Amino acid sequence: MTSPTDRTAAAGPQNGRAPAIDPASTETPALDVVVVTGLSGAGKNSAGRVLEDLGWFVVDNLPPALLLPMVRLGARGDLRRFAAVVDVRSRAFSSDLQEAIRVLSDAGHRPRVVYVHARDEVLVRRYESNRREHPLQGSGTLVDGITDERALLTGIAGEADLWVDTSDLNVHQLRATLENAFAREGSTPPLTATVMSFGFKYGLPLDADLVVDARFLPNPHWIPELRSHTGRDAEVRDYVLGQDAAADFLDRYIEVLRLLIPGYRREGKRYLTLAVGCTGGKHRSVAIAEEFARRLGDEGIAAVARHRDLGRE
């Protein structure tokens, strides 16, 4: 197990050195703090490495009780962006972590929680491929450990600022998701949006805040010259967006988002995932998601389109 001290010495852009401490300083300026937590095997460490590459100072396997002392230590030096990976390797971590985040906020810092998760069957496959034991498995089965961990994480999951479902993400897509949320140097907008296309036949995305059904539009799959193309191709995009119902739908849903977004901002929500589904996630949902992302950009929202199921057919 890597100790917080060892990890601190190796992480971040400080070239292997912990931030310098001014013994005469008693002030602790506010830091941006990201806590990465979630299910074992879902990719928390990969998320930590992405943040590290983006210039965050990252500590792995930090006990919740040490979160505030580490932040104070960093704030006394030149550190302004601090991230910690916290999970069940730190026992009794769930309630402790919620309290540690509350204390950080009360101290004037800006904590955000990223909850990384995946479907059970994906976690099982990952553990079996690595031949590792789940940290909560004990004398039970792998599925028992995953189930117990989900139950333990219920509280902190419900309070997370950003959910990242890695079930269908490769490392490059995970990086793009986190870059969209955290890579805007000093100019992070109040709300960042991910517009995700998906196929209903592959299941609903668990990390969606809003779900839109595009199956009311004619399906390009049944047009031979369009079947092999995707919603990113001009032929399919023009066909989908050229439907009278598509234009009306997009206009009216943008009006709904104009009502929702100020409320999200008032409540401190920083990330929004809008999921757009069709049957297979290839044609209609892709074209509509791309258009939603474009229109949200016109509304001043930093938005990126991501296509979960494109290429699965």
Annotated binding site for GTP: 87-90
Known binding-site residues equal: 38-45, 87-90
For the chain, the first-to-last Cα distance in angstroms comes to: 41
Calpha distance 93→64 (Å, rounded): 6
Torsion-angle region of 29 (φ positive above 0: left; ψ -120 to 50: alpha; else: beta): beta
Question: Under a CB-based contact definition with an 8 Å cutoff, are residues 174 and 164 in contact?
Answer: yes
Known binding-site residues for ATP equal: 38-45
Query: How far, rounded to the nearest angstrom, does the alpha carbon of residue 21 sit from its chain's CA centroid?
Result: 32
Which tokens is 194 given? Answer: 């991910």
Calpha distance 191→273 (Å, rounded): 11
Calpha distance 287→205 (Å, rounded): 18
CB atoms closer than 10 angstroms to residue 33: 24
